[in-house]
Chains A and B, each alone.
Chain A
Amino acid sequence: ELKVEQNPLFLSMQEGKNYTIYCNYSTTSDRLYWYRQDPGKSLESLFVLLSNGAVKQEGRLMASLDTKARLSTLHITAAVHDLSATYFCAVDGVTSGSRLTFGEGTQLTVNP
């Protein structure tokens, strides 16, 4: 059974600081997805990482994938309040077909 674990689950940080969210998964996969969810809203796709060593950046967010370590990171640079949201990583394993398995989510609060 594919398991996806995110760390931390809750993160409160000051504006201007840097931090990293970690996503570990338990089985072979070279496709990992990051989503953002604002309170009361749906999930919005942030990044799709399709191979070992993949790195993608959008604004203050950068995601990377290490398939050998079964680890993805979402790095936040110089956080701003608008980044406050819940961030989910998801994986589709080699035997999962089109199904994604989601982590529990990391609830990020950026304080002024």
Chain B
Amino acid sequence: NAGVTQTPKFRVLKTGQSMTLLCAQDMNHEYMYWYRQDPGMGLRLIHYSVGEGTTAKGEVPDGYNVSRLKKQNFLLGLESAAPSQTSVYFCASSYRAGFSSYEQYFGPGTRLTVT
């Protein structure tokens, strides 16, 4: 199993450009998440999904959109990139069986720079 994969690994955008980050998981997990990580701020949740066809806002959703058309994929879109969106983006997935945990499994990350 590949686990959680992210495409691309690195990207440089100019202000105002758009792009889509792709997250894919092969573990049949119901839940998927997009985070951004900035120095000194830990991980902040952008959007998440509790199942195919569903999405919800997290802590910092402004400037981002998401879609989950297939269970294994979760897309993060930036419609008009801004320098404040320079960050490392992590995708994660999880499942819950019975009363067990929501342990999340993380992808390798995408380093995005907006100039």
Task: Give residues in A with beta carbon < 8 Å to B.
Answer: 31, 33, 35, 41-45, 48, 50, 88, 90, 92, 97-105
Contact = CB atoms under 8 A, between A and B. Distances in A.
- Does more than half of chain A's interface fall in helix, strand or loop, or is it mixed? loop
B42 A103 contact: yes
A100 B43 CA distance: 10
- Does more than half of chain B's interface fall in helix, strand or loop, or is it mixed? loop
Contacts, number: 54
Interface in B13-49: 31, 33, 40-45, 48
Interface of B: 31, 33, 40-45, 48, 50, 58, 90, 92, 94, 96, 100-109
A65 to B, nearest CB: 12
B41 A104 contact: yes
A98 B42 contact: no
B43 A48 contact: no
Contacts of B107: 42
Nearest to B104: A100
